[in-house]
Structure 1
Amino acid sequence: MIYNWQQEGWPEFKYQLNDDIENSLIKIRESASKLEGYFSAMTEERKQQSLSVIMTEEAVSTSAIEGEFMSRIDVMSSIMHQLDRTVPDYSKDIRAKGVSQMMMSVRENYDVQLSKHMLFNWHEMLMLGNNKVHAGVWRFQNEPMQIISGSIGKEKIHFEAPASVQVADEMGRFIHWFNESKPVRLKDQLNAPVRSAVAHLYFESIHPFEDGNGRIGRAISEKAIAEGLGYTPFISLSKIIESNKAKYYDELMRAQQTLEVSEWVMYFVQLIVEAFDYSFEIINWTVKKWQFFEKYDKELNSRQLKVISKMCETSVFEGGMSAKKYMSIARTSKATATRDLQQLTEMGVLMPKGGGRSVRYELKLGE
């Protein structure tokens, strides 16, 4: 198989912007403006809370795409600390600290020119606690960098990146292209999601690091979007990718076989549309949560507030609430848990699903 970087014309990617893509680009610009307006109207406290939710989704998801799973609570703690250094970081997972540091660096340096030193710093942050990977340097091993699936003896090679000896030159050219293509004119700014799509494909095709290429590649994509908007948007691109990562890998590997990437651009731009849509869902849910606590803060006892707060740590409490979970979180008896749950149901705070011993309660913050 001949990959894109082996083809004549590399790295000149070609694509056509059809009506669907053009309409998506307009929608992204409108959504970005609307979302920024929402955040501008918030108090600083609520803005920080909302941003921590979005950034936590991004950190957890970008790691999960690569098969690395971290505690959402650890990640949230590190994110909160990065947003406000007066807030203690209670995270016990050094990986959570590393990915949080990288994400904050991406957000704070969105308008700074990309450089190998910036990428090396991101890689070092991302590899915190991983002593098996050479962090902060381009890969240098003689073995080919291959994306492989299947058991031993039945391996299938999906992609092979340029040899390590080529990486420094390839990345020098990539960094130059990225900085030179930074949008200046209004039309270029509107097309920033297209540049984001190409940047991600270009970077992933070089695969310059020993590990962490996917996570840094997605960070580069978000930097490209931010450079087009003139600010870092409140979105989680990785959350959308992670929801159907099989399709993401299929589209990426298909795009790595050609320099005509119109289909890849269409796919990736739609991901960005969905990322903005998801941000609106998070904001709406967060606003409902604030309104709920303002309404019921004086009516609920300390046990009920503790349990509802726990359920609100993520927008979906896995498996719903049960009497057994309630007893564990509130550290109370079965009789008290049952009585509290019944009261919350009567108030319309919880909605029961099922019956008998299998009954579960879902949080209902309002329509």
Structure 2
Amino acid sequence: MPWNWTLPGWPDFRYDAAALEPFERRFLLSSGEIVGAVRHVGPAERDQLRIELLSDEAMQTSAIEGEILDRLSVQSSLRRHLGLTPDGYPAKPREQGVAEMMVDVYSGFATPLSEDTLFRWHSMLLSHDRRLETVGAYRAHSDAMQIVSGRIDRPTIHFEAPPSGQVAGEMTRYLRWFNDSGPEGAAPLAALTRAGLGHLYFESIHPFEDGNGRLGRALAEKSLAQNIGQPSLIALAYTIERTRKTYYDQLETHQKTLDVTPWLVWFAETVLKAQQVTLERVGFFIGKARFYDRHRAHLNERQASAITRMFREGPGGFTGGLSAENYLSVTGTSRATATRDLQDLVEKGALSRTGERRHTRYWLNLTEARQTD
């Protein structure tokens, strides 16, 4: 199988720059919209917004690899690493590692990429993993680095990376390319083109024993942030996780060729979708702050608990809306009290109601919160 790194011309990827120009323009426009939206968040709430966006990305970049993290532990670790008041929730090793890496990517986006950066990220992510031979350094094992699936006796090989002996040389060239292609580099590239190429290039070298996917997505975030001149905070991992199979299929296809226009188009579309998710989340966060400004003083303890639980579900809320049964489960109250509480929330404008009888559902009324700002 002719993997891309075995082909003549590697690593000079070929692509149609004209096909990417519309995406590049939309990316810059949406980046400005995100910056403008964040400015509507008050200084007191901005730190919490950062924590929520970074924790979502930390959770999802791990979920892509099949690893489910404790959100509260991730957020607690983020607070510590951002220098904010700790909340007392215990930090677990996996969660602390990915949170530390996310903060390092966020705060150090402008610095040139180096081996030390990559080794530091790798150590943050995997220092807890006793199975690995090498942490905080490139892989050194003699076995082929393969991406496989299927039965042990009949595996499907999706990709085979360069032998460990070639990794140091490949990465020296990669680091030079990454820094030269930045906005202040010798051969700058447009934002989406650079991030897409950088991600595919890194994943094709697969320089570490484990953690390459998470590091590769962190590099895409760093690349995009450098091109717009500030942390991007876009929901890239979240968006990739929602189309995880397509993501892996695209990587597999384009790790066998140097013609990568379809990959770059797919990656550009994914980043643009991620930007829209971020805009929705910023809007949701602003709506949440305004909601509490309007209603916090008028909620009883049960109502406050249920509202907190609804907001924790994110912009999508409870699937199908909050039911009376959901309210009973969250609050542990009686059915008669639940009925009174929910009716009171509707009358106060905190919730809206749809359906009748057993089909009745309740929704956070964020529209009113925006209109009364």
What SS class does the counterpart of residue 147 from structure 1 fall into?
strand
Partner of 1:135: 135
Whether 1:304 and 2:309 are equivalent positions in the alignment is no
Find the aligned partners of 2:69 and 2:51 in 1 and give their Cα distance: 16
The 10-residue stretch of structure 1 (329-338 or 24-33) with the greater mean CA deviation from structure 2: 329-338
Partner of 2:343: 342
Residue identity matched to 1:169: G
Q: CA deviation at 1:210?
A: 0.9
Whether 1:200 and 2:224 are equivalent positions in the alignment is no
What SS class does the counterpart of residue 159 from structure 2 fall into?
strand
Partner of 1:151: 151
The 10-residue stretch of structure 1 (199-208 or 317-326) with the greater mean CA deviation from structure 2: 317-326
- Could you give the per-residue CA deviations for residues 214-269 of structure 1, whole angstroms, max 9, x where no partner exists? 00000001111111111112212111111111111111111101111111111111
Q: TM-score, normalised by structure 1?
A: 0.92
- Identity across aligned pairs (percent)? 39
What SS class does the counterpart of residue 234 from structure 2 fall into?
coil
Unaligned runs of 5+ in 1: none
Q: CA deviation at 1:301?
A: 1.3
Partner of 2:179: 179
Partner of 2:72: 73
Find the aligned partners of 2:329 and 2:67 in 1 and give their Cα distance: 28
Q: For 1:205-354, what aligned pairs fall within 5 Å after superposition?
A: 205-313=204-312, 314-319=314-319, 320-351=321-352
Q: Is the 8 A contact 1:16 1:262 kept in 2?
A: yes
Find the aligned partners of 2:317 and 2:113 in 1 and give their Cα distance: 39
Residue identity matched to 1:197: G
When the two structures are aligned, how many residues end up with a matched partner? 365
Q: Is the 8 A contact 1:81 1:89 kept in 2?
A: no
Find the aligned partners of 1:325 and 1:93 in 2 and give their Cα distance: 30
Q: CA RMSD in A?
A: 2.3
Find the aligned partners of 1:354 and 1:129 in 2 and give their Cα distance: 50
- Could you give the per-residue CA deviations for residues 256-315 of structure 1, whole angstroms, max 9, x where no partner exists? 011111111111111111111111111111111112111112222122112201211233
Q: Is the 8 A contact 2:234 2:275 kept in 1?
A: yes
What SS class does the counterpart of residue 367 from structure 2 fall into?
coil
Q: 1:89 to 1:256 in 2, by over 3 A?
A: farther
Find the aligned partners of 1:287 and 1:204 in 2 and give their Cα distance: 37
Q: CA deviation at 1:40?
A: 3.3
Whether 1:48 and 2:47 are equivalent positions in the alignment is yes
Partner of 2:160: 160
Residue identity matched to 1:336: T
The 10-residue stretch of structure 1 (204-213 or 31-40) with the greater mean CA deviation from structure 2: 31-40
Residue identity matched to 1:112: T
Q: 1:316 to 1:84 in 2, by over 3 A?
A: farther
What SS class does the counterpart of residue 184 from structure 2 fall into?
coil
Find the aligned partners of 1:292 and 1:257 in 2 and give their Cα distance: 51
Find the aligned partners of 2:165 and 2:232 in 1 and give their Cα distance: 36
Residue identity matched to 2:169: D
The 10-residue stretch of structure 1 (323-332 or 138-147) with the greater mean CA deviation from structure 2: 323-332
Whether 1:100 and 2:116 are equivalent positions in the alignment is no
Q: CA deviation at 1:83?
A: 2.8
Find the aligned partners of 1:327 and 1:78 in 2 and give their Cα distance: 32
- Could you give the per-residue CA deviations for residues 179-228 of structure 1, whole angstroms, max 9, x where no partner exists? 1222238x946x12211100000000010111110000000011111111
Q: TM-score, normalised by structure 2?
A: 0.91
Q: Is the 8 A contact 1:351 1:363 kept in 2?
A: yes
Q: CA deviation at 1:355?
A: 6.0
Q: Is the 8 A contact 1:75 1:91 kept in 2?
A: no
Unaligned runs of 5+ in 2: 369-373
What SS class does the counterpart of residue 268 from structure 2 fall into?
helix
Residue identity matched to 1:363: L
Q: CA deviation at 1:366?
A: 2.1
